[in-house]
Homo-oligomer: A and B are copies of this chain.
Amino acid sequence: MKIGIVGYGNIGRGIEAAIKQNKDAELVAVFTRRDPATVKVATKGVPVYSVNEIEKKAKDFDILVMCGGSRSDLPKQTPEYVKYCNVIDTFDTHPKIPEHFANVDKAATASNHVALISCGWDPGLFSLNRLIGSAVLPNGVDYTFWGKGVSEGHSDAIRRIKGVKDAKEYTIPVDKALKAVRAGETPELTVRDKHVRDCYVVLEEGVNESAVEHEIKTMPDYFADYDTMVHFISQEEFDKNHKAMPHGGSVFRTGVSDNNNKSIIEFNLKLDSNPEFTASVVIAYARAVCRMAKEGQKGCKTIFDVPPAYLLDMTSEEIRKQLL
């Protein structure tokens, strides 16, 4: 499959890395809103174009991977570009998924393309496991724990505070809660019971530490409801120890049968690089989108609509023989 990407940030570079792992995938173009001359793509020979060229170049690729942000890029870009080609995105603003789906579905259906939105691991593989858990154990409870890992949203929120030069937030599951759930207990957990927030902050010179610490710890939605730790560090230490983007987490479903037998399902991820793993999931589902498009399907899909066999470049016979 020939792949174009829009945006060459963390996810874009992750997509580029994931493509190299898949023999049937090829990166054929990078589209950017910047001046194309300023974007240097690591893979040799891949041309960089302005996003204004997408319509004209659409015949060169099978699918366009949207690598922009969920806040302002994807809500506009995905419904726009699906007019010209099949697309896949990582839209992750949970409450706005129905609206985004409706917009993309309308444009994809009208233009006879297939779009798949909200791909990755959460939303994505975690969602899939929540669905399977609730289907298999309808009389059950589920839990999602994130981390230990970097939350870009929370890091951004700290960086927006006046006087903050750089910041990284690690979401860490509370060990006691995780152990209880893993042992099959079904505790009622507040947000504070489940995760702590560990923040590493570089300040501009002369900024008051305790004022910033107070502002972080009392920030509504992001930190106020959690036990939050704040560490002020130098730019050197930050650059040395806090540039990686690890993440992961667990989805649990615990159910009890009429005969009082318990079942515990856990799906767990440990990731050195959140954007690279997200991109790996996207490439597998891009393969499925291409197949659905070839079958003549159209409209907007999610991970819930994809038969798992479509994720592999193998025949059904091979898949059954090797993997069932």
Contacts and interface: CB of A to CB of B under 8 A. Distances in A.
5 contacts: A97-B320, A125-B136, A137-B280, A262-B271, A265-B269
Interface of A: 17-18, 20-23, 94, 97-98, 101, 118, 123, 125, 127-132, 134-139, 184, 255, 257-259, 261-273, 276-277, 280-281, 284, 287, 302-309, 311-312, 316-317, 319-321, 323-324
Given A284-B136, A307-B306, A266 B267 contact: yes
Contacts of A320: 97-98, 101, 302, 304
Contact of A131 (B94, B266, B276, B319): B319
Contacts of A255: 21, 280
B98 A22 contact: no
A320 B94 CA distance: 9
A257 B18 contact: yes
A316 B324 contact: no
A304 B137 CA distance: 20
Nearest to A24: B138
Contacts of A323: 127, 130-131, 134, 304
Contacts of A270: 184, 262-264
A128 B17 CA distance: 25
Chain copies in the assembled complex: 2
A243 to B, nearest CB: 13
B307 A304 contact: yes
B262 A272 contact: yes
Contacts of A324: 94, 97, 118, 123, 127, 302-304
A94 B20 CA distance: 32
Contacts of A321: 97-98
Contacts of A258: 17, 20-21
A268 B130 CA distance: 14
A34 to B, nearest CB: 23
A42 B312 CA distance: 43
Nearest to A265: B269
A185 to B, nearest CB: 12
